[in-house]
């Protein structure tokens, strides 16, 4: 789970140095998929009983918020060419 979580910000950092906004957008998309991996890991540890349902739901709300931000940023980059 740590690798997937690290991958979220590392892909944004790596993509921000790319020459085109379309290429940067691809890295943002990879960050979104890494976030989905984190959610999957959380689901697995919930199933294993290592976190409580309430804790899982809190993390899920945070992930949903971050996912919405990543999606909105990616759309803005693709539409307007906005860079970091």
One digit per residue, pLDDT tens: the chain, 84 residues?
Answer: 999 999 999 999 999 998 888 899 999 999 999 999 999 999 999 999 999 999 999 999 999 999 999 999 998 888 876 655
Q: Which of 35, 33, 21, 34 lies closest to 74 in space, CA to CA?
A: 21
Q: Are 74 and 32 in contact (CB under 8 A)?
A: yes
Cβ neighbors of 61 (< 8 A, separation 6 or more) are none
What CATH number is attached to the domain comprising 19? 1.20.1440.60
Its pTM stands at 0.88
State the total domains in the chain.
Answer: 1
Token look-up 């960050």 returns 31
Range of the domain at 22: 2-80
């Amino acid at each position: 789970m740590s690798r997937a979580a690290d991958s979220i910000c590392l892909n944004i950092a790596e993509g921000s140095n790319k020459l085109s906004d379309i290429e940067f957008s691809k890295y943002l998309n990879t960050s979104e998929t890494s976030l989905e991996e984190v959610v999957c890991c959380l689901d697995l540890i919930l199933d294993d009983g290592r976190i409580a349902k309430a804790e899982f739901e809190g993390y899920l709300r945070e992930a949903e918020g971050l996912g919405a931000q990543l999606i909105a940023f990616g759309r803005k980059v693709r539409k307007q060419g906005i860079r970091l």
